[in-house]
């Protein structure tokens, strides 16, 4: 691990000022540190300065009739344990409980979860070519073992999957990321916050170096209340998704008024299947329609040599998630 300076921010504005003042933009905010410290130990990240934001007043969680607001420093375990979140936004609680281990959930912050880096093994090995870690160096995964890599949103420069479960759930509920910057605040729809790799896989988020995530807002809705997260993985806990699906249904008189289908574990960002949602609108609640929607959701998949199995597995994940969520109403 490289030597670094450490400071503790006393206010949100001081945190912003500190990162702006850091030499060469080589500073990072640190909260739980569950991802950043790992990467520093592997020399994947080598910040010259860490700005500790753990003491900022950003841990609050508010729920009213219209909105859930989660402070960026709320811990994953605290949000998952909130009974109102579990009742009115179940996909959020379920995705959190499917993430990492209890110990990590106790440490990891919600804002940090949005900023976590891919688990591509070549990204984490500094001996391997990786355009995300070192732009222009190549992508070892393209010709290497790409069993766990993405089949949607890929580019010739990067095929790494997005690692977060929570982000998949938040995408299904049209969450918004609140950012605080040096001159103004702004709110970014979550679908615009995560970037596909294109020719610049090193750019992953719609955030500037001197902006800080302060909260995540989730609109309350019938969709949010009837939502579900299903994660398929190679072991029962402490494992990243091979495939996952965050789904939500608004069912009225046996007909699907509105739906959300978001795929995880198979794409370079949380992947919303809008064509599949359009297909389901106005359809009666029947498994055959869920199967058709799942095929539409994967229609653009581009599997590599080792991950063709993900197409069928993701389709089945979507069907199982939707049938589980609609249980009791399937004609």
Measured from the CB of residue 159, what is the shortest distance to ligand SF4 in angstroms?
5
Measured from the CB of residue 118, what is the shortest distance to ligand SF4 in angstroms?
5
Closer residue to ligand SF4 in complex, CB, 92/130 = 130
Measured from the CB of residue 182, what is the shortest distance to ligand SF4 in angstroms?
30
What sign does the CA torsion over 268, 177, 273, 82 have?
positive
- Tell me phi and psi for residue 212, to 5 degrees: -130, 130
Measured from the CB of residue 108, what is the shortest distance to ligand SF4 in angstroms?
21
Closer residue to ligand SF4 in complex, CB, 71/270 = 270
Show the DSSP H helices in 202-286 as ranges: 222-225, 274-280
The Cα-based distances of 299 to 13, 145, 241 in angstroms read 46, 23, 20
Closest CA to 29 of 111, 99, 104, 106: 111
- Spell 190-225 as b/e; 16+ CB within 10 A means b: bbebbbbbeeebeebebbeebbbbbbbbbebbebbe
Which 3 state secondary structure label does DSSP give 230? strand
Closer residue to ligand SF4 in complex, CB, 131/227 = 131
- Tell me phi and psi for residue 50, to 5 degrees: -110, 130
Neighbours of 138 (CB within 10 A): 14
Measured from the CB of residue 269, what is the shortest distance to ligand SF4 in angstroms?
13
Closest CA to 84 of 189, 225, 188: 225
Closer residue to ligand SF4 in complex, CB, 140/276 = 140
Largest CA distance in the chain: 63
Q: Which two tokens stand for residue 68?
A: 């859930």
Measured from the CB of residue 152, what is the shortest distance to ligand SF4 in angstroms?
14
Nearest-5° angle of CA 314, CA 115, CA 82? 80
Closer residue to ligand SF4 in complex, CB, 46/323 = 46
Closer residue to ligand SF4 in complex, CB, 120/151 = 120
Measured from the CB of residue 198, what is the shortest distance to ligand SF4 in angstroms?
12
Closer residue to ligand SF4 in complex, CB, 42/281 = 42
Q: Residue 277: enclosing H or E segment and its boundaries?
A: helix 274-280
Beta bridge partners of 194: 205
Measured from the CB of residue 75, what is the shortest distance to ligand SF4 in angstroms?
27
Closest CA to 75 of 138, 46, 33: 33
Residues that bind ligand SF4 in the complex, under the rule CB under 6 A: 118, 120, 122-123, 130-132, 139-141, 158-160, 201
Closer residue to ligand SF4 in complex, CB, 198/219 = 198
């Amino acid at each position: 691990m490289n030597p670094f300076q450490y400071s503790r921010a006393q206010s949100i504005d001081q945190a912003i000022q500190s990162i702006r003042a850091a030499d060469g933009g080589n500073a990072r905010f640190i909260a739980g540190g569950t991802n950043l410290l790992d990467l520093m130990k592997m020399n994947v990240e080598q910040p010259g300065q860490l700005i500790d934001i753990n003491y900022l007043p950003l841990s609050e969680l508010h729920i009213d009739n219209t909105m859930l607001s989660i402070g960026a420093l709320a811990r994953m375990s605290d949000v998952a344990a909130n009974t109102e979140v579990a009742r009115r936004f179940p996909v959020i609680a379920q995705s959190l409980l499917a993430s990492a281990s209890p110990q990590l959930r106790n440490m990891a912050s919600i804002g940090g979860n949005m900023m976590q880096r891919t688990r591509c093994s070549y990204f984490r090995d500094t001996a391997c070519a990786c355009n995300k870690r070192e732009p222009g160096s190549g992508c070892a995964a393209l010709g290497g073992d790409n069993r766990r890599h993405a089949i949607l949103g890929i580019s010739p420069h990067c095929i790494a999957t997005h690692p977060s479960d929570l982000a998949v759930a938040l995408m299904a509920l049209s969450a918004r990321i609140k950012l605080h910057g040096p001159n103004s605040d702004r709110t970014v729809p979550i679908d615009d916050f995560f970037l596909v790799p294109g020719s610049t896989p090193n750019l992953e988020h719609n955030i500037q170096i001197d902006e800080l995530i302060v909260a995540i807002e989730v609109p309350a809705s019938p969709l949010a209340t009837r939502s579900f997260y299903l994660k398929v993985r190679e072991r029962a806990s402490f494992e990243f998704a091979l495939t996952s699906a965050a789904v939500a249904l608004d069912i009225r008189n046996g007909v699907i008024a509105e739906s959300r289908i978001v795929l995880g574990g198979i794409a370079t960002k949380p992947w919303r299947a809008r064509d599949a949602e359009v297909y389901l609108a106005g359809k009666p609640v029947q498994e055959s329609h869920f199967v058709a929607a799942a095929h539409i959701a994967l229609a653009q998949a581009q599997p590599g040599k080792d991950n063709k199995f993900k197409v069928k597995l993701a389709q089945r994940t979507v069907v199982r998630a939707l049938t589980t969520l609609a249980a009791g109403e399937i004609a």
